[in-house]
Chains A and B, each alone.
Chain A
Amino acid sequence: MVRNILKVAFLVLALSAPIVGAQIPPDMPVLAARRVSPTFAITLWNPAGHVRLIAWDLDSLVIRGRVDASQKFMFGAGENGVKSAIEGRVVGAEPKPSELAVWVPRRSRVTVRTESADIEGVDVTGSFYTVSGAIRMSGSATSVEAESMKGNLDLNANVPWLRAKTGEGHLLLRGRPQDVDASTITGTLDIATATIMRGQFTSVSGDIHYAGAPPSGAILEFSNHGGGVDLLLPATASGVFALSSISGIIENSLPGVRPAAAPRAMRVTLGRGDASITVRTFKGAIRLRPQ
């Protein structure tokens, strides 16, 4: 119980927490600068350190950075695309951290891959992959795809299409996404936004928390094997909730809602039933709570 209260408190804090790294990075030497087409594509590889991405209204690419002496900065540009990488001077050596700050046109498409480097972006559209680094995205974008093997993802973006996956990391969804596919293996998945119209949230053993009133017409699907699914709903929530668990418990503490008729399944209509929410678990608990 205490654990759950702590999780709820975390969610509330998450809603109000600013994105710490969103400020313009400090001055760094210019590694590359180039006029590019507004819809160009850039692929970036930085194994360790930090990558900051900022979209702007200029049709220019600027890369600033501090690259460790054991690494070299590579840059190649074509008609509509740029590839850039930090690579070790000695093959197979453990990569040393390098800091990159990259300004790209707002309509460009960015692909970043890292091993342990954190990725941070503001108003950037694209795909972001890391093994153990954290990914933090904010602002507005056309689409965001963020994947980490074990790092944390904090996605606080106004984006029509969002795909986010991590293994052991904590996945936090904020902002104003609309179509979302989010999953973890063992990490906790927190959804602290009530703008998602189509959502698929999956975990194997991590807990899933959803806080907010699903918008009218939303279709949300939660699936968990061993982890729990907690839905924190305000009094204004309106939707049809179909909850089922093979061997987990279903707890309901919403006022005025009848307890589950069957121990492993529950169907609840709140308000006018404007949204459709389906929750399935194998052995994880399902909880309905007032927000």
Chain B
Amino acid sequence: MSSLKAHLSEEDRHRIADGTMDEERRAVIDAHLASCWNCKSDVAHLTKAVPSLRHVSEPTAPLDDLWTEIHERIEQGKIVSLGKEPPEATPAAAPQKKKFSWLWLAPIGVAAGVVIALFALPGKRGAEDRQASSMVADTGATLVSVVDSSYAYEREAQVLLDKLELQRALLRPEAAQALDRDLHVVDVAIAELKDAVARDPANPALRQLLAASYRQKVDLLKRASNAS
């Protein structure tokens, strides 16, 4: 102990209380306790709490066995097999593998056929679709993905806004004001970006900025939800 004048650390008090202090240090600590009423009183208080401290919750199952149980639960409600068992799982505990069936691929094949037919058939789409198609061809997959993420964020933001209207009464005025200020800032940014995107729809940087602003809005609304 560096100085007997200083109070004991929390860990020292705790170790004295639960009896895990090593002998060498114990002597120094005892000397301090003999002269410091504050620490002595606190250790006494902690020692009274020791019965609850001594109650230890042991894991109900060894960690290695947990995966087997989880795997079994998943298998019970599965549609597609999870496949190979982990090497740790014992053969006895492992559920039987089911025979692989190609039948489950049938709906996917039908869906893929419909998608191909929709996009491959000429003359069925309007001018707007052709424009979108050429835009995709020009700017690549990045633009498609950011457009998709913008739509996804926009939808999520709307769901969160609807939810927030119900929770607004639970927000303290200070939080509500902060939320409204931030929402205004984000909405102004989104409006500016939407205008810019309308003028230059094939600009991937604009789309990415728009997606980022929507993401900000979603995050903000989630924070507000946490605050309520």
Contact = CB atoms under 8 A, between A and B. Distances in A.
Interface of A: 24, 27, 29-30, 33-37, 40, 54, 56, 58-60, 62, 79-80, 103, 113, 115-116, 129, 131-132, 147-150, 165, 167-168, 183, 185-186, 202, 204-205, 223, 225-226, 244, 246, 280-283
A185 B38 contact: no
A106 to B, nearest CB: 12
B18 A60 contact: yes
B220 interface: yes
B42 A30 contact: yes
Given A149-B175, A149-B178, A204-B186, A165 B46 contact: no
B209 interface: yes
B172 interface: yes
16 contacts: A24-B10, A30-B42, A33-B46, A35-B53, A35-B54, A62-B46, A79-B60, A116-B174, A149-B175, A149-B227, A167-B223, A168-B178, A202-B212, A223-B209, A246-B206, A280-B209
B1 to A, nearest CB: 14
B205 A280 contact: yes
Interface string B178-197: 11011001100100110010
Given A225-B192, A281-B209, 5 more contacts: A30-B42, A33-B49, A62-B14, A223-B208, A225-B209
Nearest to B228: A131
B92 to A, nearest CB: 28
Contacts of A246: 196, 203, 205-206, 209
B175 A115 contact: yes
B193 A186 contact: no
A60 B53 contact: yes
Interface residues of B, number: 50
B42 A165 contact: no
A24 B9 CA distance: 8
Contact of A185 (B11, B52, B182): B182
A35 B185 contact: no
A282 B49 CA distance: 59
A202 to B, nearest CB: 6
Nearest to A116: B174
B163 interface: no
Given A33-B46, A132-B178, A167-B182, A282 B209 contact: yes
A216 to B, nearest CB: 25
Interface in B133-183: 172, 174-175, 178-179, 181-182
A147 B225 CA distance: 12
Query: Sorted from nearest, which 9 A-B pairs have the closest CB atoms?
Result: A33-B49, A225-B189, A167-B182, A223-B212, A35-B53, A185-B182, A150-B178, A131-B175, A149-B178
Contacts of A186: 181-182, 185
A186 B57 CA distance: 46
B29 interface: no
A150 B183 CA distance: 13
B185 A34 contact: no
B182 A168 contact: yes
Contacts of A113: 226
B227 A33 contact: no
A36 B213 CA distance: 43
Contacts of A225: 189, 192-193, 209, 212-213
Interface string B16-39: 001010000000000000000010
B157 to A, nearest CB: 14
B106 interface: no
Given A34-B55, A246-B205, A282-B196, A165 B182 contact: no
Contacts of A27: 7, 38, 42
Contacts of A79: 57, 60
Given A131-B174, A202-B216, A225-B193, A37 B55 contact: no
B224 A185 contact: no
B56 interface: yes
Of A35, A58, A148, A168, the most chain B CB neighbours within 10 A belong to A35
A134 B107 CA distance: 53
A30 B38 contact: no
A165 B186 CA distance: 14
